[in-house]
Amino acid sequence: MRRRQLLKATGAVMATPLLAQLARPFDALAKTEQVVVMTWGGLWGDAMRDNVDAAYQKATGIKVVQDRSSSPVERITKLKVSLDNQTVDLFQLADGLVPLAVKQGVAEKLNRASPRMPNVRNMIPAFWNDYWVPQIFSITGIIYNTKLVKNPPTSWADLWRPEFKGRVVLPEISHSIGSYIIPIGALAQGKSPMDEEAGFEMRKKMADLKPIWAKDTDTMMNAMRTEDAVIGILYKSQTYTVKGWNTPVEWVYPKEGGIAFTSGTCIAKNTKNLEAAEEYLNVTMDPEVQTFAAKIYNYGGTNKDTLARLSPELQERVKFPQDQVDRLVKLDLGYMSDHRAAWVERWNRVVAGS
């Protein structure tokens, strides 16, 4: 995927409403009563339930059962164990873990020509992936409290400033972007984002600052809300969510470059409900349905026609200046996936103090 092109979401053509897109005989789905979707809990799971799941059930009559019990990495492990008798139909991941899911053989390869996925074919081309349908996007940068931080951050290196000891919130290694702390640490030293030695050196230094490690994004946002944290890593999109809680925060695009964030859905390998799962992917890509992510979270949508359905204010929130798009840090997600086990082991040694 060409990550520097991911955020060039422009143009709008008339899109067909969701129900019209799905208007077809459902004979093939007659025996499917429900689909199981592994996703996040909290605010995101609720939003998916009230928007995507509700639209899907209305269009198909098929019930959606959410499985919120696992972290993204745990989802992949559970799917791997269940390959011989798969009980899950779809699962959601952020882009950083998609290569791992593909490597573990738990994601079904997509049939781009499927008659059940017209909306998927209307995806912004730079987002296309053979195993995963991206739904939303933003950029990862730095969030900080404008009341409590007198010298605003400008660089990833500012996360390591001594005055933030005990007040930095960061994603734990099991988080979708938890492993990004290593390339961010390397960038903070002025090194290549793939200089893992530099990255782990900074990970050790961060341990001395006793940060707040968060297992999910809601925890990261709430740490800023309660002012337990005064600075941290967060997507620009959800900085607006924290602002909406009347918390005095701002978002900074680091001088070394931001990191693109995309999240979406895979079909589980060996699903017993492939056609129903394809229908679900199609709904995640419906331009009308995708607007919920902008209205609630200020995420951009990946359908070419979603942007035109947003208010001018929301369009400005989900778009990014061209210079920020051009300066995005390119991470080798395949390499990071291949070395994830070693990185996790090394991370845990740092946590254990060895």
> 3-class SS at 230?
coil
**Domain map (residue ranges) of the chain:** 3-137+261-326, 139-260+329-352
* pLDDT given at position 23: 46
**Pairing verdict, β 168-171 and 231-235:** parallel
| Lookup: tokens for 241 | 């969510």
* The pLDDT value given to residue 193: 96
Fold of 3-137+261-326: D-Maltodextrin-Binding Protein; domain 2 (3.40.190)
Q: What is the pLDDT of residue 351?
A: 85
Q: For residues 68 and 247, what is the distance between their CA atoms, to the nearest angstrom?
A: 28
CA atoms within a 13 Å half-sphere pointing along the CA-CB vector of 160:
19
What integer pLDDT is reported at residue 354 of this predicted model? 52
| Beta strands at 63-67 and 90-94: parallel, antiparallel or unpaired | unpaired
CATH of 139-260+329-352, one of 3.40.190.10, 2.170.120.12, 2.30.30.230, 3.40.50.300: 3.40.190.10
Can you give the pLDDT at residue 30? Answer: 55
- Which residues are CB-contacts of 334 (< 8 A; sequence separation ≥ 6)? 99
Residue 207 near residue 350 (C-beta atoms within 8 A): yes
Q: In Å, how far from its chain's centre is CA 269?
A: 21
How crowded is the C-beta side of 342, counted as CA atoms within 13 Å? Answer: 8
How buried is 284 (Cβ within 10 angstroms: 0-12 exposed, 13-18 middle, 19+ buried)? buried
Position 12 scores a pLDDT of 34
The label of the residue with tokens 């070395």 reads 339
Three-class SS state of 196? helix
List the end-to-end C-alpha distance of the chain, in Å, as a whole number: 37
User: Which residues are paired to 148 by β-bridges?
Assistant: none
pTM: 0.85
| Contact between residue 18 and residue 118 where contact means Cβ atoms under 8 Å apart | no
What is the per-residue pLDDT for 18?
A: 47
Q: How many CB atoms lie within 10 A of CB 165?
A: 12
Contact 54, 237 (CB under 8 A): no
Low-confidence residues of the chain: pLDDT under 70: 1-30, 354
Asked whether this chain's domains 3-137+261-326 and 139-260+329-352 adopt the same fold, the reply is: yes
